[in-house]
Chains A and B, each alone.
Chain A
Amino acid sequence: MDFLQPVTWAEALEAKAAHPDAVPIAGGTDVMVGLNFGHLRPALLLDLTRIADLRDWQVADGAVRLGAGVSYARVISELGDRLPGLAMASRTIGSPQIRNRGTVAGNLATASPAGDAHPALLAAGSEVEVASARGTRRIPIDDFYTGVKRTAMDDDELIAAVHVAPPSGPQQYSKIGTRNAMVIAVAAFGLALHPDRRAVGTGIGSAAPTPRRAPAAEEFLAGELDSSGLWESRAELPEATIARFGELVAAAAAPIDDVRGSAPYRVHALSVMARRALSWAWADYRSANQEA
């Protein structure tokens, strides 16, 4: 196994162009497990940790451009206000050691349906900035996941950054695991209220071949909020609306039975998480009004 350690982004893109089968490694929290257990035997490892630029984040046009090398720990400590949903998701990930090493871009590149960042990115609305020697493009998060551990990236591309829109309303994130920390998601749910667009964003994890949104639930809730004037009145949400939202989120899932949980449990848990997340987000929305 060969090992390349570019120190500039241009070098990294050249290396990836020359060796499309090279496996990029950043935090190594997935790659090293694969290597240690013999599940992954790449001809070439492409170490991205020497590229200083990747470790930066900036705010551009109101959105956060999160460099591919930013760790979960830094998302929590530096971006809790700008990326609340993603920060909540980051808190659920692994142990402090894993959060110090692992990156959101690594989560995207692995594209496991159980990746913890995905539901938050889906709900908030994001774009993945990928680059190759040929140039740079942005892939909307909705188009990024194409199958189990497959993405819309080409073989010569690397993730440069993730662009996440700023929150115009409350965000929530919940994840089920069978212990109270350091656990792979059995099911996860991300929610973002977008009062600026009078829209609702959702994200479902670990309950379908890819992370996905629940469009029917989003449309239903946005419609209810609109038609009842709730965006403006910030009145209490009817119980029936919350319950229906939960049902529609659950209906969007297509889970399997596996060692971590049964398919019916995942569906059930999503409906509960969706209801609770909505009630918390709405309570935040209402109290934000009182403060204003």
Chain B
Amino acid sequence: MSTPTRTPTGAPEHLTGPGSGGVGDDAQRPDGVLKVRGEFAYGSDLWMEDMLWGVTLRSPHPYARIRSVDTSAALATPGVSAVLTSDDVPGEKVYGLELADQPVLALDVVRYQGEPVALVAADHPETARLAAARIHVDYDVLEPVTDARTALGHPTWNQVHDSTAEVTELSRESAHLHPEGNLVRHLKVRTGDPAPTADVVVVGEYEVGMQDQAFLGPEAGLAVPAEDGGVELHVATQWLHVDQKQICSALALPPEQVRLTLAGVGGAFGGREDLSMHVHACLLALRTGRPVKMSYNREESFFGHVHRHPATMRYEHGATRDGELVYVKAAIYFDGGAYASSTPAVVGNGGTMGIGPYVVPNVHVDCYGAYTNNPPCGAMRGFGSVQTAFAYESQMDALAAELDMDPVELRCRNAMEEGSATPTGQVIDSPAPVVELLRRLEAMPLPARSGDGEVDLRDMPGGVSNTTHGEGVRRGVGYAVAYKNVAFSEGYDDHSTARVRLEVVGGEPTATVHTAAAEVGQGLVTVEQQIARTELGVERVVVHPKDTSVGSAGSTSASRQTYVTGGAVKAACEKVREQLVARAERLVGRTVPDLRLAGGAVVSDSEDITVPLADLLGDDVLEETLEWRHRPTEAIDPETGQGFAHVQYAFSAHRAVVDVDTELGLVKVVEMACTQDVGKAINPQAVVGQIQGGTAQGLGLAVMEEILIQDGKVRNPSFTDYLIPTILDMPPMRIEVLEYADPHAPYGLRGVGEAPNISSGPAVLAAIRAATGLPLTRVPVRPEHITGT
């Protein structure tokens, strides 16, 4: 049985210790000062003498056949060095993370607005843009398929009501956007009684709009042709090696000739897991023999990366009069857009965890991912679990209302705990403190209401826009709890590689950590340093630039890097430490059982031994490289969804307090409180930062963030109209971090980044419902939904 390593856990300031920059300390980021001073070089800052600028011509149509492409006028433009189409792709012409179905450049059909059709390289970006506008593409415009259920031929929800009726026939009516049909994946979870009955039944239909990652640093990179006929690509990305694999395939080059280095990344959140300009820049560089920079502007960025899947969901919950869940049936539809991207894995998460962190004996879930002509959707923080949490937590509130029971009490009564079985038959074998997370939230004091004194507009819905001085304002409180798998699931060989070197530099023992794990702003570089400091007992740790000259670290996604790359760095350090201890024992001429590394020396607590590393190493360099894996998961049964699908779960809960101007439909989130179990806070300050950021992103989806699509076309590709929370929208937070060690994970840690993104939005939605008394089944909630206009 695991016990909290810090009890009681508490507010962030209590987790903070001065420390020496090791594990558990608030070590300072190595890139922090540069970023604050505006001196950090992001991908868009890359620059070389004699470089060319690449731009992309994109389809204006969501669905069209290409009759012809005429590039002659573009090529004739002075300053233009190359104009490329799909004919110029030397290798495989399609790529993809899980299924290779997306053209590098459009073949005969474009399937979404913004699909790349042609490329131009020129000596100035304006010249390149002008030339791209001179490419004549003759389109035969087709009627787009813009609804996931229509695409799959499931116009009704009948499969929820009749559990024995399986929908296998895809509609013959709907256009097949891909040769195999419009179904990307159908995941089934079947456990318990297929036809359960219950005293109390609530049914709800829910909809989640398309959220964007809205990272601040748009897609950018620089491709440099190499003397060996290969290419070096500096790019802001999330997973260098999966990029490399896809680029090699498109360029028909071996990995040795496609070398990637991570450029400065300004946020990712899943949106950089797919390729954007990677192959394009390489194609142009190899064709022209010159370095080529590509850097999207904000508008192009909205077309240049995948988004969060919009979802439509229907849930049916059955419970006893006492509030014990008897069954859950759910039909979940994810709109994957034009290409698969990571839709299969999103369906995997949405389906397997789609009823939330509750124990339910009878579960029947169908989760679908569909192709449509909407923008491609793929990875985004929370990855399939964000959408379902809105549905299952809304259902829990509806059920509580039906039972006349407190919503927290209902959740606690059905909460998972260590030893519980998930609907996929997996026994949870590490702490699952769902009840404690909720009870701790409940015990926190509620924020005060605005006093009778002078009104501070900044505290009001509408802010300084001066729409209310209290008129029409009602307060609501809502709770939500969620869980999320950490790392890659369903049998994926999920590993990372670390190379750790120890040597004496300028008299000081210095460790160098080399991994390919992308630092996207989350602070992994800090964590790598902290682990090396703790394991090797040295202060100075250099983080080697992230590149493909070391093995894959896997993706910076799925809340996995501290776990998996952290685990790899720890293991590589341990190998180095073994060598040091062996050397020390040779020096003292015998075995000493308690030798350890501290303060730049090998020391013993039982004997008076202190061997400085500088003496032990001399001019020698110790280096270890190893691949590290978490314990394996397994594929789930295709008919029942049963199996050990996920290696670890992260749990978090939120309480939201909102003030709603019920007459104008404007919302002010007054306070967000979060409790989360992180197993072990490797860097408490960074943990709290992840919780705050994840909370803000979840709040954003609940009340404002949506890519609006009409007939397959994006209506708001700008930060003028795609709104993300400001400081007046994101309130102060109360945060309690719990540390119940997971015995299977390095240091007992749990992935942190995603869980708070999942439970935050549903808590906000619940609070708005509480304030307004409205059912509110769609997010983002717009003012119109509240005012009914």
Contacts and interface: CB of A to CB of B under 8 A. Distances in A.
B787 A265 contact: yes
A174 B665 CA distance: 15
B729 interface: yes
A186 to B, nearest CB: 8
Interface size band for A: 20 to 34
Contacts of A180: 458, 461-463, 465, 666, 668, 726, 728-729
A176 B299 contact: no
Given A261-B784, A265-B789, A37 B727 contact: no
A269 interface: yes
B466 A172 contact: yes
Contacts of A182: 726
Contact of B467 (A38, A174, A179, A268): A174
A145 interface: no
Contact of B782 (A92, A172, A178, A268): A178
A178 B787 CA distance: 13
Contacts of A173: 466
A272 B787 CA distance: 11
A181 B703 CA distance: 14
B467 A91 contact: no
Q: Which of B298, B664, B727 has its CB near the most chain A CB atoms (within 10 A)? A: B664
Contacts of A267: 789
Interface in A171-212: 172-184, 186
**Interface residues of B, dominant DSSP:** loop
A232 B782 CA distance: 43
B100 interface: no
B631 interface: no
Contacts of A179: 703-704, 723, 725-726, 728-729
A180 B715 CA distance: 22
A92 B466 CA distance: 8
A227 interface: no
Given A92-B464, A174-B467, A272-B664, A181 B789 contact: no
Interface string A39-62: 000000000000000000000000
B784 A181 contact: no
A3 interface: no
A184 B663 contact: no
Given A92-B466, A180-B461, A182-B726, A265 B783 contact: yes
Interface in B707-738: 708, 715-716, 718, 720-721, 723, 725-729
A273 B787 CA distance: 14
Q: Which of B297, B298, B726 has its CB near the most chain A CB atoms (within 10 A)? A: B726
Interface string A247-274: 0000000000001111011011100110
B783 A175 contact: no
B708 A259 contact: yes
A276 interface: yes
Contacts of B725: 179
A15 to B, nearest CB: 24
Contacts of A178: 666, 703-704, 723, 782-783
Contacts of B723: 178-179, 183
Interface residues of B, number: 40
A260 B467 CA distance: 17
Contact of A273 (B299, B467, B668): B467
B468 interface: yes
Contact of B721 (A33, A259, A276, A280): A259
Contacts of A276: 467-469, 471
A36 interface: yes
A176 B461 contact: no
Contacts of B299: 37
A208 B84 CA distance: 46
Interface in A57-94: 88, 91-92
A181 B471 CA distance: 19
B728 A37 contact: no
A172 B332 CA distance: 48
B499 interface: no
B783 A92 contact: no
A259 B715 contact: yes
B129 interface: yes
Contacts of B129: 38
B465 A176 contact: yes
Contacts of B469: 276, 280
Given A259-B716, A260-B721, A181 B729 contact: yes
A98 B315 CA distance: 46
A276 B471 CA distance: 8
Nearest to B668: A180
A268 B782 CA distance: 14
A247 B466 CA distance: 20
A80 to B, nearest CB: 13
B466 A184 contact: no
B728 A181 contact: yes
Contacts of B716: 259
A229 B674 CA distance: 56
Which 4 A-B residue pairs are closest in the complex by CB-CB distance?
A: A180-B463, A180-B728, A175-B465, A181-B728
Interface of B: 129, 297-299, 458, 461-469, 471-472, 663-666, 668, 703-704, 708, 715-716, 718, 720-721, 723, 725-729, 782-784, 787, 789
Given A183-B723, A276-B467, 4 more contacts: A36-B297, A181-B465, A265-B783, A269-B787
27 contacts: A37-B299, A37-B718, A91-B466, A174-B462, A175-B467, A176-B465, A176-B467, A176-B664, A178-B703, A178-B704, A180-B461, A180-B463, A181-B463, A181-B464, A181-B726, A182-B726, A186-B783, A259-B708, A261-B782, A262-B784, A264-B784, A265-B665, A267-B789, A268-B789, A269-B783, A276-B471, A280-B469
Interface of A: 33, 36-38, 88, 91-92, 172-184, 186, 259-262, 264-265, 267-269, 272-273, 276, 280
